[in-house]
Chain A
Amino acid sequence: MYVELHSCSAFSFLEGASLPEDLVSEAARLELPAIALLDRDGVYGSPRFHMAAEKAGIRAHVGAEISVEGFGTQAGMPSWMPNKIPSRPVRLALLAKNRTGYQNICRLMTRYKLREKVKGTGTATLEEVAEHAKGLVCLTGGQEGILAAALAQGGSEEARRNIEKLLTIFGKRNVYVEVQRHFDPAEETRNQAAVCLAHRLHLPLLATNGVRYAHAQDREILDLFTCIRNRCQLETAGRLVERNDERHFRPAAEMTRLFSDLPEAITNTGELSARLRYTLADLGYEFPRYPVPSGETIDTFLRKRTEEGFRARYAAKRLDNLYERAERQVRRELALIAKLKLAGYFLIVWDIIRFCREEGILVQGRGSAANSAVCYSLGITAVDPVGMELLFERFLSEERGEWPDIDLDLPSGDQREKAIQYVYQRYGQLGAAMTANVITYRGRSAAREVGKVLGFDRETLDQLSSLVNTWGWRGATDTTEHQFHQAGLDLSHPRVQKYCELCERIQDLPRHLGQHSGGMVICQGQLDSVVPLEPATMPGRIVVQWDKEDCADMGIVKVDLLGLGMMAALEDCLELVPKHYGEPLDLAQLPADDPLVYETLRRADTVGMFQVESRAQMSSLPRNAPTKFYDLVVQVAIIRPGPIVGRMMHPYMRRRQRREPVVYAHPSLEPVLKRTLGVPLFQEQLLRMAMITASFTGGEAEDLRRAMGFKRSESRMREIEVKLRRGMDQNGIKGETQEEIITQITSFAQYGFPESHAASFALIAYASAYLKCHYLAAFTAALLNNQPMGFYSPATLVKDAQRHGLRVKPIDARYSEWRCTLDRDPDKPAPCLRIGFRYVRGLRQAAAEAVVRQRQVRPFAGIEDLVKRVPDLQKSELVTLSEIGALNGLGQKIHRRSALWQVERAARPAGPLLESIPEQADASPLQQMTDEERLVADFHGSGMTAGPHPMSYCRARLDLLKVQRACDLHGIQDGEHTRVAGCVIARQRPGTAKGFVFLSLEDETGIANVIVHPDLYEKHRLIINREKFLRIDGILQNQDRVVSIKASQVMPIAISAAETESHDFH
């Protein structure tokens, strides 16, 4: 029997070339009973390795290669050979025998990782290794190991001394002398020395293949990674790249043949494997216990807190029936929580919420947590699950044995950071950490890095990167080959072919570890004994080595503290509205069902509103015609891949418009589907359908959802389908009805949106709509101050606000602050918006704040005064301020060009001799900017204009061309040939739209929606993707007050050279 006990995956970050899953599948193919994964300084790939091995029926041993100091540097080439192999510390190959061993690996790595100053350079000291040696087996390693280094540096005596050090640290039974054979004479020389030493010291030999990739051909990827790591090209890499392609898995027979002279080296692999009893199934993770006052248990404490909240939430509603139902539900939930021992988890989340409330941080739970009445009572969520009849099993079920998932939405930026730091502080540096985010090679990064390594020039790489498809929809032409061809590369050239092939092959391989935006894991005791911790790039942050999927797979509970731009905007409004409108604002007490809000929603006048502003949302809003909050919940959920792919959207809309009768697949489903007119739209409904028609338990239903989920498995789906059919048969649901229900469930479950989640989002959507309708200036300022967020660029938000009557004032050195602010003119009833300095391209916040400070001391007497009093301002910043007209107010009759004229002189140091000579009073000889020049300067310098829309300057010419205005399109009959033109503000090619492209063209009156057929898109790909202004001819479609143009002709139109921005979505 042979077991491969030394393999690395691509999670050795650029030192391995295959994913753990690929290693496992190849090992399974070769019928290896077990394998060990020893990634470099980490166990990054271990969860995936463990899960894949479990499925494949292979034992997954856990270990790592640890960089150590005290054994010199890795063996390189002899000094007389020309090479540029950098010296690196020796690595010890360690395998965990038991949980203590695994915990020691994690702690040891955490110890040296947390002190490393440059990522990936940390090393363990010998003392640290000795301290953490219990439960570990040490191999002497291959080329990177201690034996090779010692033999190269001091011959066999040095090697003996070093191995004796290992014996002292790990004990005699735990050191194996490793031999590898890759058909390299230098390696064979080492092997001979190793065999001698093993005999001399009576140590066991161990054959491994030092696997770095699953298949021989993956050596190319490893070479590529080596070059990326060493920042060199393949042509010049020399001996840095692999000598041959032998570091792949070999079957037992081949290894036995290869080591026929050392049979014990093969036998020992089996024996050692049997000694390694540890797998990740025994992780030993425990969620922290929440400290409760004496006399209380954790469950009674949770019950009390829930009851307090429950009374506040439900008693206020004064609905007896609801109160009773809610009480029953809370009791049921609390019993289950106690049974599953989850009370601590709820209290910890409650504690975070309490902290946020105390600090005045807006927070709202979402996701499936909103299905829980306990969460609602504790104030974690804002949606009443009992009132909305949400399904608790979607959140928590006894059968599933999983941690519940609670996501908290926080305002993005500093406020969220405050909450994160609170968690660190509360649970200690080694008790809480962020989950990692594995950055993988994708189209663009792959093209760039592979190109560099193959020696392609920067310009070609730039061009190629710009062509890589980022649309959701991948058409027949969206292949790597096509992109390469478009970039002007000759695909018949072998080098280009190789480039193309390698780009494809490295897709999805890990590149480096990032930090997840909000996922935090917390542990009872020391998190570093569960998973190694590392410092994140962001100061004060610590990350675990696993991403959130891995953490979930390993049963580690996480709390997502997500930053939501709209939450930050809402929080800003809480301050702006009372200050400038003199009215109090409480988001929890917003008037329900405000008629103006619903009227605006029905008109699809939703630019800037949360979740309902996208093009697709706009085109369905008039059809759905929301009149109450639940309609908004449906609206948020319906424009999702689930309802669209499952073909539920159109039946729902038809029923909503009463064009189709409301029918149910089976009468028993009426209570579940009544609210959505017989059409299943939410995950909960599918689960309930399964529960009703096939008598599934809550847990079984949730299993069904997971089986159909992202990582769907054919066999599991079949099993569940059989179970569904059996259940329906038993309940007498047969024939066509059964088929219809099965189709509904299977086609939809994977993409569905939980109703609870939709309800949480709908609350925010309603709040944003309410604020936009009633406090436009405050809302727009808040949106602009929290960019980037949402679907539209700041320029579009400003134009939309102006069309709604908001007066927008441009950036002005006399009045603007860093953020956008509200001004109120005494003669005007409504406040107006002043654009802030944050929109001046290239202006540093510190300089802008210096301007504001100086202005508060006394107003600026002129441009020269500004330059003198704010030396922080650099010339380029002054130039931009002049160009966008921000300095026009600093003197009499100053226009942008004259400001530029003055700035050029004032910002040029004249030297001490001439400094005191005042500016000659002569007026600027420069001409004022034309309208077009002003537009160009505005967009170049601030990305927007507070003045007229670029299209308005050309309206007379456009009228001659019979170009319709966006606002006039509603008056045109369906099917009429129409011509529109505008600035492209959004391009979309969603994955669900079969290659159709949706364009939004903005003019001074509004937004026109254009649909481009895939064939037409192919024909005019470059124009559609690149041109800033387009003229479109086509047939106008006006269906249910949803207006769009089906393009038949697309052409660029010369409107302005302004650098307008488009948000392109995938």
Chain B
Amino acid sequence: MPFACLFVPDFSVQALVRLEPELRSKPIAVFEGVPPLRKVFGANAAAKTAGVEIGMTKTQAELCPGIVCRQRSLSQESTAHSALLDCAWTISPRVEGSGQEELPDTVVVDIAGCEKLFGSPEKIASDLRRVAAEVGFDANVAVAANAESAICAARGFPGITVIPAGDEAARIGVLPLSSLKIPMELLDTLARWGIHTCAEFAALPEIAVVERVGQKGRRWQLMTRGADARPLLPKEPPLEFEECMDLEFPVELLEPLMFVMNRLLDELCTRLRMHVLATNEIQLTLTLQGNGSRRKESLLHVRTLRLPVPARESKLLLKLLQVDLQNHPPNAPVIGVRIAAVPARPRTRQLGLFLPQSPEPELLEVTLARIRNTVGYDRVGSPLLLDTHRPDAFRQTHFVLPESTTRMANTQRRTTAALRMYRPPLPAVVELREKKPAAVICNGARRQILALSGPWRTKGEWWAETAWARDDWDVLMEALRPAYRLDASEPMEEGTALYRIYRDLRLRRWFVEGIYD
């Protein structure tokens, strides 16, 4: 009697409900997709009774009485699966994580030899179910002599099912073939044959089945007979270097935490060095002091740092973690620290004798991290022009040092004026003459326009709320106040200057956008 299976029906719903137990008795529909195209992905029994069907749109589902709608959360499902694994690991170290079909709702445990520790199979099953209930799952548990029988029974029968050895075929036989997760193609063939239950499939002559649907058919048939004795595929931890330390006392300040982290990083870097490896990703997981609940994901503080180049200098890594934690401090005392390093080949690059010197990538990364902390995460990087007619449309990409600098040939060089933009643009009042700007009043100063060209009109994204419409003008006028210099080293805006002004046609307001060099 060596295998138990934990199966969570309506997994996507339960993954959410376990964090919001007050919803447990209500009809819940889980959607996936982005508005306005959200469709029902999962629903609990109450919701199905109320008329919700998988694949309905949100608008349709909302018509069902009393329905509670929630967006699907893959991260919560992932953590729920981890929690399910945890439940299994409380019984046995040999746990198969996601089965053969990558099913997050199913976990199989090898319970051979556990009887002495935990009691009869029924007791183990009920323990598993109780533990699952503690982490918020209403799970089916089945115990059988082989893993597949346990999976079939858990998926097919509600509550706890213990199948005595030898009874697998009989018990599983009553289940419809759909509970086996048989591929659609085979299911269609079997349906054509008039075979709908496991027992009917099991009764077919084995050689004849192999002749017709191949070896895979035999495997599925063995399953329906409860005789598939495949070995368990215990979950292996992913290949990563990991160091962790449980703290005796909760730590609230950053400094003592840095001390611990320093030690862990030293160890990690030493191990990396021994394997001639470095790391390009560090994951810091701080276990926070909670109220005794088993909701692990809410008690962890996880920070991930991705490095532009692989590194194994503990000082550098420590500095990066420190800067990050200063910006994202944990919200509770820390009781455990875990640092995982994803291994990577170290950077090998020989500097050229005549290449211009560029900043050390590692140092540059530290500097960028500091700037990010000051101005915001999304505000640092290299600008990347976007494919749109919208003026000043760009996004930030991660700044990396170019591998080599290529100089543009003289013939390719374009003589274009540079526009220094005011961010945000300066609100202005513009006086018009014959529908053309005649004077600009900005920041208290009135400037007569001496020459102009335009309007240059752009209108776009009319299909979305981000629609814009504006008329740009290039105007020559006396310089605006020097207060708008970008930095002290720049020349003062004196005499006349060429400006870009624009009228936002939707807001019906004028702005000074920038000054041409």
Contact = CB atoms under 8 A, between A and B. Distances in A.
Given A488-B56, A901-B212, A933 B456 contact: no
B386 interface: yes
Interface string A175-211: 0000000111100100000000000000000000000
A241 B212 contact: no
Interface residues of A, number: 52
Given A183-B471, A220-B462, A490-B58, A883 B386 contact: no
Interface in B1-54: 33, 35-37, 39
B464 interface: yes
A457 interface: yes
A929 B194 contact: yes
A457 B33 contact: yes
A134 B487 CA distance: 65
B460 interface: yes
A922 interface: yes
A507 B464 CA distance: 22
A243 interface: yes
B208 A925 contact: yes
Contacts of A496: 36
A925 B385 contact: no
Nearest to B195: A926
A900 interface: yes
Interface of B: 33, 35-37, 39, 55-60, 189, 192-195, 203-205, 207-208, 211-214, 384-389, 453-460, 462-465, 469, 471
A905 B212 contact: yes
A904 interface: yes
A183, A235, A239, A922: which has the most chain B beta carbons within 10 Å? A183
A904 B189 contact: yes
A488 B60 CA distance: 5
Contacts of A243: 389, 457-460
Contacts, number: 112
Given A489-B36, A901-B212, A922-B205, A82 B386 contact: yes
Interface string A452-467: 0010110110000000
A22 interface: no
Contact of A81 (B35, B385, B453, B454): B385
A498 interface: yes
A231 interface: no
Contacts of A900: 192-193
A84 B385 CA distance: 13
B208 A905 contact: yes
Contacts of A910: 211
A42 B139 CA distance: 68
A185 B388 contact: no
Given A234-B463, A244-B458, A488-B60, A897 B194 contact: yes
Nearest to B61: A488
A456 B464 CA distance: 14
A185 B458 CA distance: 11
B36 A879 contact: no
Contacts of B471: 183
Nearest to B203: A925
A933 B195 CA distance: 12
A495 interface: yes
Contact of A459 (B35, B39, B189, B386): B39
Contacts of A920: 207-208
Contacts of A488: 56-60
Interface string A72-83: 000000000111
A901 B36 contact: no
A456 B388 contact: no
A457 B457 CA distance: 33
A721 interface: no
A244 B463 contact: no
A70 interface: no
Given A219-B462, A456-B37, A488-B58, 7 more contacts: A238-B386, A239-B388, A244-B458, A489-B36, A897-B194, A904-B189, A925-B203
A847 to B, nearest CB: 20
Contacts of B207: 920
30 contacts: A182-B457, A183-B455, A183-B457, A184-B457, A185-B456, A188-B453, A219-B462, A220-B463, A238-B387, A239-B388, A241-B460, A243-B389, A243-B457, A243-B459, A243-B460, A244-B457, A244-B469, A456-B37, A457-B33, A460-B57, A489-B36, A490-B36, A490-B59, A493-B36, A496-B36, A498-B463, A883-B192, A901-B212, A904-B213, A922-B205
List the 9 closest pairs (A to B, CB-CB), nearest first: A488-B57, A238-B387, A183-B457, A904-B212, A488-B60, A493-B36, A82-B387, A244-B457, A244-B459
What is the predominant secondary structure among interface residues of chain B facing chain A? mixed
B194 A495 contact: no
A789 interface: no
Interface string A496-535: 1010000000000000000000000000000000000000
A925 B194 CA distance: 11
A926 B205 CA distance: 11
Interface string A378-416: 000000000000000000000000000000000000000
Nearest to A880: B192
Contacts of A490: 36, 57-59
A246 interface: yes
A84 B387 CA distance: 8
B369 to A, nearest CB: 28
A933 B212 contact: no
A908 B462 CA distance: 57
A349 to B, nearest CB: 53
A116 to B, nearest CB: 30
A158 to B, nearest CB: 15
Given A82-B385, A460-B57, A488-B59, A246 B457 contact: yes
A489 B59 CA distance: 6
A929 B56 CA distance: 35
Contacts of B56: 488
B193 A926 contact: yes
A483 B193 CA distance: 40
A693 to B, nearest CB: 58
A81 B208 CA distance: 64
Contacts of A897: 193-194
A351 interface: no
A919 to B, nearest CB: 9
A245 interface: yes
Interface string A891-902: 000000100110
Contacts of A883: 192
Contacts of A487: 57
B463 A454 contact: yes
A490 B453 CA distance: 45
A20 B212 CA distance: 63
Interface string A948-990: 0000000000000000000000000000000000000000000
B457 A238 contact: no
A927 interface: yes
Contact of A495 (B55, B213, B463): B463
Nearest to A455: B37
Contacts of A493: 35-36
Contact of B193 (A183, A188, A901): A901
A908 B56 CA distance: 40
B59, B194, B463: which has the most chain A beta carbons within 10 Å? B463
A219 B58 CA distance: 32
Given A460-B57, A927-B194, A908 B208 contact: no
Contacts of A457: 33, 37
Contact of B36 (A82, A183, A246, A495): A495
Interface in A916-943: 920, 922, 925-927, 929, 933
B192 A925 contact: no
A234 B33 CA distance: 19
Nearest to B34: A455
A912 interface: no
Interface in A751-798: none
A494 B465 contact: yes
